[in-house]
Amino acid sequence: MITTKQRAYLRSLANTIEPTTQLGKLGIGEKVLETVSKALEAHELIKLTVLETSPLSPKETMVALCEALNCEAVQVIGRRVVIYRQSSKPENRKIVLPKK
């Protein structure tokens, strides 16, 4: 569980990144979960775009992804969702969260 201060730090980092994945009319399937999980492992912080055709709203998408992938919700702005999960491999860890 991340703190408010850590979430604010992650939001500031998310301003400079581009969305890595788009979620459309098929919603969240096995392929999407696999792709997002690999992206989280490589980058730790990712931004996704939820298209208008998606069966889930951006907030519902964020909740579903966080439950399925054991990651942290950072923010939802419009149709953009930002999530974070620390990499399991120490060599992939790029983000150092501020102390509580």
List, in order of start, the domains of the chain with CATH numbers: 4-89 (3.30.110.60)
Q: Is the pLDDT of residue 61 over 80?
A: yes
- The contacts found for 90-93 with CB under 8 angstroms, 24 or more apart, are 92/41, 92/42, 92/44, 93/44
What CA–CA distances, in Å, run from 9 to 2, 3, 69, 85, 95?
11, 10, 21, 14, 10
- The contacts found for 57-64 with CB under 8 angstroms, 24 or more apart, are 61/23, 61/28, 64/28
At residue 99, the pLDDT reads 85
Q: Is the pLDDT of residue 100 over 80?
A: no
What is the model's pTM? 0.92
Please state whether beta strands 80-84 and 72-77 pair in parallel, antiparallel, or not at all (unpaired): antiparallel
Q: Quick: pLDDT tens for 25-52.
A: 988 999 999 999 999 999 999 999 999 9
